[in-house]
Amino acid sequence: MVIMKRIIYILCAVVGFTAAAQQTPAPAANKSYTIMNATAHIGNGELIENSVIVIENGKITTVADATTVKMQPKGEVINATGMHVYPGIIACNTTLGLVEIDAVKASDDDREIGTYNPHIRSLIAYNAESRVVETMRPNGVLIAQVVPRGGRISGQSSVMQMDAWNWEDAAVRVDDGVHINWPRTFSRSGSWYEPGPTIPSKNYDKQVDELTQFIAAARAYTGTGKKDLKYASLKPVLAGNATAYIHVNGEKAIRDVLGFIKDQDLKKVVLVGAQGAENVTKELVAMNIQVLAGRVHDLPARDDADYDMPYKFPKLLSDAGVLVALENSGDMERHQARNFPFYAGHTVGFGMDPEKALQLVTLNAATVLGIDKDYGSLEQGKSATLFISKGDALDMRGNQLTRAFIDGRDISLNTRQKDLNDRYMEKYSKQ
C-alpha cells in the first residue's frame, strides 16, 4: 500500500510538473504580418541588410530588400529595426518529447527492448506537452527530428514542430527514416570514471554479419502469408522512399559502412555522428551521402585527434563538398538541444562563414530531413517558421527572441524558467 501511494505521488508530481509549465499552443494562422527593416538571414547563405518580409495564411509571400521594393504593408506591422530575422532552427537526432525526467521510468519512453526494432515509431510516443520541449522555443529551436534509441536498429524517427496540442498536430514529416546503429570497431575498457585503453571489439564481424542477414531477410520479404512488421517497416528504406540513418563513428567503421551501402544498394543514406569522416570526404561526395555531424561542444573522439576536431569538423566536411548539418546526441541531449544555434555559432570561431554556419541548423538540416521544400529558409512560398532576435542568434549574448512563428502562428516564448525569473526579479527589486 505504501509503495502504491509513492507511485501515485510520483506520477501526480510528473503530471503537475509538466502541466504547470506548458504554454497554450498558438491558434491557427489567420492573421497577416509584415516584418520591416530587419537584417534577414535567409538560411541559404544570403543576407538582406534591410528587409521586408510578409506572412499570409501561414506562408511567406514576400522576402525583399526594403530599400528597393516599395509595397503596402499587410496585416500587423512589426518594426524590427536593428534586429535580425532567421528561419526556425532545426534540431536533428534528438529525443525531445520522449523523456521528461530520466529518473522517473513512467516518463521515459525513448527505446524498446530487443535488438532489431525497425517497426518502432517515435511519433506516437512524442509528448507535445513536454516541459523540455517548451524550453526550445525561446532560443529559436522550432523544429526537431525525434529519434528512438537503443538496439541495432532503433526504429523510425519523425520530424515535429515545437508548438502543438498533440503528436498529430506536431508532425511535420512522419516516419522520415529508420535508424541503424553500426557495430563499434573499438571499445573502451575500464569504467566511465576510470577509463582503460581502447581495444578492438571481438564481436564486430559477427555483429555486422547479423545486421547484413537481417537486411537481406527484409529485402526477401514479400508481405504474403504471416505479417512481419519488422521486415515490412524496412521496405521504404530499401525502396529509397525513406532514409537510412546510420549512426557510426571511426574511419574504419565508416569505410565498412560505405561498402555496406553499395552491397545493399541503399539509395538514401545519412551518416550520424561520423567522427573520422574527415578522412573519407571524397567517397562521401562521390556517393552523395549526407552527414549529421556529432556534437560540436565535445572532446576529441581519439587520443591522437586534434584538440579542436569537434569544433572544426563541420567545416572540414563542408569545405570538401559534403552536405552537413548538426546533431546533438549524448549526455543531457534533450536539455542541450536548446543550444543548437550556439553549436553553429561555435563553428564560426573555427573558420566557418556565419551564413554557412547558420545553414548547418536550417536549410542543410531541412534538406537532410526531406522538408526543405517548406522549411529551412526565408523564401517565398515556404512556411512562415521563423523568429526575430535582438542580436546574432548564433551568439548566446545576442540570441534574445522578441517574436517567433511556426507555420505563421504567433507562438508563446514564455517558459517556467522565465516565469520564475520574473517572479524573483520582482521580489528582489523591492528590497
> What pLDDT, on a 0 to 100 scale, did the predictor assign at position 199?
79
Helix (H) or strand (E) holding 51: strand 47-56
Say whether 89-375 and 22-88+376-414 share the same fold: no
pLDDT of residue 19: 45
Tell me what percent of the residues of the chain surpass a pLDDT of 70.
Answer: 95
Euclidean distance between CA atoms 145 and 160, whole angstroms: 6
pTM beyond 0.85: the answer is yes
For the cut 80, the answer to whether the pLDDT of residue 217 exceeds it is yes
Q: Can you count the helices (H) and strands (E) in the chain?
A: 13, 18
Q: By three-state DSSP, how is residue 194 classified?
A: coil
Res 192: pLDDT: 67
Arithmetic mean of pLDDT, 221-250: 92
Q: State the sign of the Cα–Cα–Cα–Cα dihedral 348, 352, 355, 359.
A: negative
The more confidently predicted of residues 315 and 304 is 315
Which of 119-123, 166-170, 223-227, 287-291 is predicted least confidently? 223-227
Alpha-carbon span 231 to 114, nearest angstrom: 15
What single-letter DSSP state applies at residue 125? G
Tell me: pLDDT of 14 over 90.
no
Q: How many residues does the chain have?
A: 431
The fold of 89-375 is: TIM Barrel (3.20.20)
- For residues 250-270, give the mean pLDDT: 95
Please give the average per-residue pLDDT across 49-65, as a whole number. 96
Residue 421 has pLDDT above 90, yes or no: no
Mean pLDDT, the chain, rounded, equals 91
Comparing 305 with 342, the larger pLDDT belongs to 342
pLDDT greater than 80 at residue 17: no
Say which residue, 91 or 14, is predicted with more confidence.
91
Asked if residue 297 lies in contact with residue 261, where contact means CB atoms within 8 angstroms, the answer is no
Per-residue pLDDT at 418: 83
Beta strands in 73-219 (DSSP E): 76-79, 84-87, 89-94, 141-146, 153-161, 171-181, 186-190, 195-200
CATH superfamily, domain at 22-88+376-414: Urease, subunit C, domain 1 (2.30.40.10)
Map out the domains of the chain as residue ranges. Answer: 22-88+376-414, 89-375
